[in-house]
Structure 1
Amino acid sequence: MSRIQQLFARKPKGVLNVYCTAGYPTLESTVPVMQALQQHGADLIELGIPYSDPLADGPVIQASGSKAIANGMTVARLFEQLKDFRQTINVPVVLMGYFNQVLQYGFERFCADAAAVGVDGLILPDLPMFEFEHMYGATIKKHGLDFIFLVTPETSEERIKKLDGMSTGFLYAVSSSSTTGSDKKLEDSNAYFQKLQSMGLQNPVLIGFGIKDKQSFDAACAFANGAIIGSAYIKALDGKSDVASATKEFLSGVLQ
């Protein structure tokens, strides 16, 4: 079993996945932020690779990515930082990035380097299903990485089933058709969440976009195996020199 499978076997409900941006708030914050997340209650870490054109990200995560790039973060620098992270971090870690930056680095090389440092899976929102199925999925599988697809309220049942069949680890249910950090009300998507619940999907489901505090986390967990917090955590780190105390304060509010 992969680390992600082990997590959901051990904890089938209430899984907290927290997104952080590599190289934010400072270039060398990557691993300390991940350590703080693990220490204070995150079950899974989604580590964002900063990119100049982040299609799925709202203004908060975009700004953190811009700051990280200005700090000097690159894909190569990230793998250098992650070289020994498994000495202190045992929770599953997935890399979230965009297809073009992975292609620029070299797709096979990226997967090999991710696996070598101990990364568990990938989220590439703009990697099309057809290309995954016919060109890139075999490389991801060869290196033992899980791949997580996203579904939205507009995704047809037929396509949801197909994406579920190709995903491993979990399925990422975007709560609304918007970017991260959206202010849309989570309850507006309850019918969509109920549909996902009723479909008998093979993967666990984590709900993301618009999860920001205990109330929204608990509401999402009522329909899924857990939820993903991103923009709200990035906001909590903004301007803070002590990432450990900022992380503790933020996560204690979510998990109280």
Structure 2
Amino acid sequence: MNRINQLFKEKEGNLLSIYFTAGYPNLNSTLDIAEALEKAGADFLEIGVPYSDPLADGPVIQNSSLRAIENGMTVKVLFEQLKDLRKRVSIPVLLMGYVNPVLQYGVANFCKSCEEVGVDGVIVPDLPMYEYEELYKDCFEQHKLSNIFLITPTTSEARIRKIDELSNGFIYLLSSSSTTGKNLNVNTDVEGYFARIASMGLKNPTMVGFGISDNKSFSKASQYAKGAIVGSAFVKLLGEEGYMEKIGEFVAALKGKEVVA
């Protein structure tokens, strides 16, 4: 049982995951931000691997990716930085990125490096499910990595069942089929979609992502899933002056709690 499974076993709900881009706003800010997020009360983290053509991301995360690349962030540099990850961070950590940098680094090397630095799972939105199952599943499992699949409002029940069968961590439930950065609009269709997934009796827990930016959207998403994932709103904060001092307040506001001193 890795840290992801342990977390979902121990905590009933209202889990908060925060996404941020490695190497943004500064090349060496990755571990400082991760440590601050854990101290502030985040339940787990998604560290983005910057890529020059992040198709699923909106302008905020796209810009952070380009800035990180300009700063000198690469997959190799990230793993160098993460060598001290488990000296400073104890909560689950996932890497999120696109398949091209992973293939360039080498899938076997990538999985091995993840295990060595203490990464618990990966999210690769453009990795086809059949390729994962046929080519990479054994490698992921050998290195104790959870591969997190995404589903959208248009994903068929058959595909959702297959994803549930292949998953061993959680399922990333996209609130819409658009890019990141759009505010969550919980209308009748979205509520119906969330309720439909919740009623399927999946063996894996779900987390809602895309459009979560405040306590209202976090609380609404958490009614239908184990919790929610915040990305663009936090990355936007990292573009502000004095961002490190604002992290505690940001996480507390999302959870509707007092700031952790």
TM-score bracket relative to the smaller structure: over 0.9
Give 1:139's aligned amino acid.
C
Query: C-alpha offsets along residues 191-220 of structure 1, whole Å, 9 cap, x if unaligned?
Result: 000001000001110000000000000000
TM-score computed with the length of structure 2 as normaliser: 0.96
Structure 2 CA distance for aligned equivalents of residues 246 and 71 of structure 1: 23
Confirm whether residue 167 of structure 1 aligns to residue 183 of structure 2: no
Partner AA of 2:190 in structure 1: S
1:51-66 matches, cutoff 5 A: 51-66=51-66
Identity, in percent, stands at 53
CA deviation after TM superposition for structure 1 residue 83, in Å: 0.3
User: Can you list the C-alpha shifts for 1:62-94, whole angstroms capped at 9, x where unaligned?
Assistant: 001111111110000000000011011000000
Aligned residues: 255
SS at match of 2:16: strand
Unaligned runs of 5+ in 2: 257-261
Equivalent-residue separation in structure 1 for 2:104 and 2:62 (angstroms): 20
State the secondary structure of the residue aligned to 1:83: helix
Other-structure match for 2:259: none
Equivalent residues of 1:32, 1:243 under 8 A apart: no
Code of the aligned partner of 2:129: M
1:28 aligned counterpart, secondary structure? coil
Q: Match of 2:252, as an amino acid?
A: S
Instruction: Report the equivalent of 1:229.
Output: 230
CA distance in 2, matches of 1:34, 1:165: 31
Moved over 3 A (4+): none
Q: Which residue of 2 aligns with 1:178?
A: 178
Q: Which residue of 2 aligns with 1:74?
A: 74
Separation in 2, partners of 1:44, 1:168: 16
Q: Residue type matched to 1:72 in 2?
A: G
Secondary structure class of the residue paired with 2:55: coil
- In the alignment, the residues of structure 2 paired with residue 49 and residue 234 of structure 1 have an alpha-carbon distance, to the nearest angstrom, of 13
> What's the TM-score once normalised by structure 1's chain length?
0.97
State the alpha-carbon separation in 1 of the partners of residues 8 and 150 from structure 2. Answer: 18
Which residue of 2 is the match for residue 44 of structure 1?
Answer: 44
Q: Confirm or deny: 8 A CA contact 2:184 2:210 kept in the other structure.
A: no
How do 1:21-170 and structure 2 match up within 5 A? 21-170=21-170
Confirm or deny: 8 A CA contact 1:33 1:243 kept in the other structure. Answer: no
Contact between 1:186 and 1:210, CA under 8 Å: does it hold in 2?
no
1-structure distance, mates of 2:170, 2:125: 14
In structure 2, the residue corresponding to 1:84 is in which secondary structure? Answer: helix
**1:184 offset after TM fit, Å?**
4.9
| 2:207–2:228 contact (8 Å) kept in structure 1 | yes
Distance 1:141 1:244 in 2: 35
